[in-house]
């Protein structure tokens, strides 16, 4: 006698609801992390903030580190932050202008993830792994962007590819953004202009106009 097997059924509506629930959990966790700090937030608190059962949170995430990983993945997967925008541009100055806008938006969106990983990764194996991947992805993007300049012979005389990568990697780090914008009170526009001008000088050996790309969501007047 034939044995009937249960057919799997994957409803698009169910999948959409699952994605919405997952996104709500991540959003609630992000708000709590920003308000209370990563260490003080519990999975129970995240469940309350998201308006779901604790079991539902664990259905999607085994722990807080996994939620941070999801936050990081959401940022790095954004199409407007792709280094491909730099690679497709043929003019070196325009490449750096686009790159400065991408770095500015990346830092605006990732400050919370960066703060969590910087402060807690040393004592949490899961966060340490996320931090390593985060740093490697950033370096890989910088390498691709600078390689695009190098391929066009745009780097200033005497500047090698490896040195250019290291210099831009240092300039675009979250620590620099944090110092200038969050500690010294610079506007994101001012940071973007500074990064663009300094990049032109250090990488191309030239000067350029300092108007921002206005590629981020805000188009408010810039401040000095």
Residue 44's domain spans which residues? 14-61
Which CATH number does the domain housing residue 27 bear? 1.10.10.60
Same domain membership, residue 55 and residue 90:
no
Same domain membership, residue 184 and residue 135:
yes
Same domain membership, residue 121 and residue 46:
no
Q: Quick one: which of 2, 217, 223 has its CA closest to 108?
A: 217
Q: Residue with structure tokens 């040393």?
A: 122
Same domain membership, residue 172 and residue 79:
yes
Which CATH number does the domain housing residue 85 bear? 1.10.357
Residue 188: burial class (beta carbons within 10 Å; 0-12, 13-18, 19+): buried
Same domain membership, residue 127 and residue 84:
yes
Same domain membership, residue 46 and residue 129:
no
What pLDDT does residue 219 have?
A: 37
Full DSSP string of the chain: -PPP-PPP---HHHHHHHHHHHHHHHHHHHHHHHHH-TTT--HHHHHHHHTS-HHHHHHH-SSHHHHHHHHHHHHHT-GGG-THHHHH---HHHHHHHHHHHHHHHHHHHHHHHHHHHHHGGG-HHHHHHHHHHHHHHHHHHHHHHHHHHHTT-SPTT--HHHHHHHHHHHTSHHHHIIIIIIS---HHHHHHHHHHHHIIIIIS----------SS--PPP--
**Domain membership flag for residue 221:** no
Tally of domains in the chain: 2
What pLDDT does residue 126 have?
A: 82
Same domain membership, residue 83 and residue 179:
yes
What pLDDT does residue 6 have?
A: 53
- The model's pLDDT over 58-117, given as tens digits with 9 standing for 90+, comes to 999 999 999 999 999 999 899 999 999 999 999 999 999 999 999 999 999 999 998 898
Same domain membership, residue 180 and residue 147:
yes
**Domain membership flag for residue 78:** yes
Same domain membership, residue 141 and residue 44:
no
**Domain membership flag for residue 3:** no
**Domain membership flag for residue 214:** no
Same domain membership, residue 123 and residue 40:
no
pLDDT at 186 over 50: yes
pLDDT at 16 over 50: yes
Residues in the chain: 224
- The model's pLDDT over 122-156, given as tens digits with 9 standing for 90+, comes to 667 788 888 888 889 999 999 999 999 999 999 99
Same domain membership, residue 179 and residue 85:
yes
Q: Which residues contact 125 (CB under 8 A, 6 or more apart)?
A: none
- Would you place residue 13 in the very low, low, confident or very high pLDDT band (cuts 50, 70, 90)? confident
**Domain membership flag for residue 7:** no
**Domain membership flag for residue 9:** no
Same domain membership, residue 136 and residue 42:
no
Task: Determine if the pTM surpasses 0.75.
Answer: yes
- The model's pLDDT over 188-215, given as tens digits with 9 standing for 90+, comes to 999 999 999 999 999 999 886 544 444 4
């Amino acid at each position: 006698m034939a044995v009937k097997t249960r057919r799997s059924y994957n409803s698009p509506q169910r999948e959409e609801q699952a994605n919405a629930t997952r996104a709500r959990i991540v959003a609630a966790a992000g708000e709590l992390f920003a308000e209370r700090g990563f260490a003080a937030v519990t999975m129970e608190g995240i469940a309350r903030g998201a308006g779901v059962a604790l079991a539902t949170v664990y259905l999607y995430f085994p722990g807080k580190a996994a939620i941070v990983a999801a936050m990081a993945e959401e940022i790095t997967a954004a199409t407007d932050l792709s280094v491909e925008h730099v690679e497709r541009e043929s003019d070196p100055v325009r490449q750096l202008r686009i790159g400065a806008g991408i770095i500015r938006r990346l830092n605006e969106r990732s400050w919370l993830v960066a703060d969590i990983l910087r402060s807690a990764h040393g004592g949490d194996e899961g966060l340490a792994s996320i931090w390593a991947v985060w740093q490697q992805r950033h370096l890989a993007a910088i390498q691709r962007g600078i390689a695009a300049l190098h391929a066009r012979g745009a780097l200033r005389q005497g500047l090698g590819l490896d040195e250019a990568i290291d210099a831009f990697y240092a300039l675009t780090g979250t620590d620099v953004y944090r110092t200038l914008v969050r500690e010294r009170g610079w506007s994101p526009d001012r940071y973007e202009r500074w990064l663009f001008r300094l990049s032109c000088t250090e990488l191309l050996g030239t000067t350029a106009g300092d108007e921002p790309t206005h590629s981020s969501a805000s188009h408010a007047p810039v401040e000095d």
